[in-house]
Amino acid sequence: MYEESVLCAASAYEQKYYLNPLFAKLPEAIRKELQIICVLFVEEIGGRFLMEFDEEGNLLFRTDALDSDYNYDEIGAALMVKEIRKNREELLAQLELYYKVAILGKPLEEA
């Protein structure tokens, strides 16, 4: 993955949230919603959580933990990702469309 493809991330270890500056022009409400999604994920599940785009502009979720992190809930992580996809379906679709058009430069008809 290219670093440019990372939308946002959070880490329970460093207690930090990151939004790629490439997406700083997103509306404030969307930026805040992304922060809430990421921070709540790592607070509840632990580990690290990333939202990133693949080469075609599909939004992917990646979560992992340190080998020494016995509090990380791998099953809970999968369930929470499924819940985010279900409850935030419209937001995620809009982010993919934005990425395809604004970042990848695809015409709106093809995105």
Report the predicted TM-score, pTM, of the whole model to 2 decimal places.
0.89
Convert the pLDDT of each residue in 64-87 to its tens digit.
999 998 889 999 999 999 999 999
Phi, psi of 28 (to 5 degrees): -55, -40
Convert the pLDDT of each residue in 14-37 to its tens digit.
999 999 999 999 999 999 999 999
Residue 107 above 60 pLDDT?
Answer: yes
Long-range contact pairs involving 84-91 (C-beta distance under 8 Å, separation at least 24): 84/37, 84/41, 85/61, 88/33, 88/37, 91/30, 91/33
* 96 neighbors 58 (Cβ within 8 angstroms): yes
Residues 91, 33: Cα–Cα separation, whole Å? 9
Residue 4 above 80 pLDDT?
Answer: no
Residues 61, 14: Cα–Cα separation, whole Å? 19
